[in-house]
Amino acid sequence: ASREYAAACVEAIAAARESLHGAEERLGRMDAIAGDGDHGRGMVRGVDAAAAAASDAVGQGAGAGDVLAAAGDAWADKAGGTSGVLWGAGLRAFGETVGNASAPEAAVLAAAVTAFADRIVQLGKAEIGDKTMVDALLPFASTFGHAVAGGADPGEAWQDAAREAACAAEATADLLPLKGRARPLAEKSLGTPDPGATSLAMVFAVMGPHFTA
């Protein structure tokens, strides 16, 4: 089961890769409104490197946790930019919690999501309402955690949490950015959702079926 779960993790990253390639231009345009316009490019560079590192690791017989950690390190290394560092570190923390032993129980998966979120908050120091990816991530983590703790099916819980994250990402349109490169031109971003929150909700939605399979 551990080898199968490592393969599922590779598929999760492949799904993220496909959706980020499709959204590259749109994410770039969103980031160009108040930021520097490179969010689509950065996410694509990061996820491409992560996908390559994940398949290498699986080819060498690595377990799921090591596959995800290698993917995270490659992402942080190659993406450039704030979001790349945070995604990479988050993915490594997720992998460390999932571990190599076997496909994770729902509670372990919830702990891995929490580890992903905690690492990103620790490094980026953003709070809810600062108009960052954290505004989509924390609602995702709490919705998934509560549903799983209540005995929900992990696959359904993940998709409910992904819908919460997508709504929360949309709702950042009304906020002024208080962290990151968009801050100096904060007013210009009113009416546009945060690019990092938008991409996070998108990526989590497509990864779910693989992580919860």
For binding to ligand ADP (CB under 6 A), which residues are involved?
31, 35-36, 38-39, 42, 81-83, 86, 124-126, 132-134, 179-181, 194-197
- Per DSSP, the three-state class of 53 is helix
Question: Which residues are near Mg ion by CB under 5 A?
Answer: 31, 35-36, 38-39, 81
Residue 45 or 210: the one with the smaller Cβ distance to ligand ADP is 45
Q: What φ, ψ does residue 37 adopt, rounded to 5°?
A: 80, 10
Residue 20 or 57: the one with the smaller Cβ distance to ligand ADP is 20
Place of tokens 């992402």: 75
Rounded Cα–Cα distance for residues 178 and 194 (Å):
11
Residue 14 or 175: the one with the smaller Cβ distance to Mg ion is 175
Which partner from the list ligand ADP, Mg ion, none does 82 bind, CB cut-off 5 to 8 Å by kind? Answer: ligand ADP
In the structure encoding, which two tokens stand for residue 1, read together?
């089961």
End-to-end CA distance of the chain: 11
Which partner from the list Mg ion, ligand ADP, none does 179 bind, CB cut-off 5 to 8 Å by kind? Answer: ligand ADP
Rounded Cα–Cα distance for residues 8 and 109 (Å):
13
- To the nearest whole angstrom, how small is the minimum distance from the Cβ of residue 203 to ligand ADP? 12
- To the nearest whole angstrom, how small is the minimum distance from the Cβ of residue 182 to Mg ion? 8
Rounded Cα–Cα distance for residues 186 and 188 (Å):
5
Residue 24 or 66: the one with the smaller Cβ distance to ligand ADP is 24
Which partner from the list Mg ion, ligand ADP, none does 124 bind, CB cut-off 5 to 8 Å by kind? Answer: ligand ADP
- To the nearest whole angstrom, how small is the minimum distance from the Cβ of residue 54 to ligand ADP? 20
- To the nearest whole angstrom, how small is the minimum distance from the Cβ of residue 172 to ligand ADP? 8
Q: Taking the alpha carbons of 116, 77, 58, 60 in that order, is the dihedral positive or negative?
A: negative
- To the nearest whole angstrom, how small is the minimum distance from the Cβ of residue 37 to ligand ADP? 8
Rounded Cα–Cα distance for residues 158 and 110 (Å):
10
Residue 39 or 131: the one with the smaller Cβ distance to Mg ion is 39
- To the nearest whole angstrom, how small is the minimum distance from the Cβ of residue 46 to ligand ADP? 8
Residue 78 or 210: the one with the smaller Cβ distance to ligand ADP is 78
In the structure encoding, which two tokens stand for residue 159, read together?
């998709």
Q: How many CB atoms lie within 10 A of CB 149?
A: 12
Rounded Cα–Cα distance for residues 51 and 74 (Å):
9
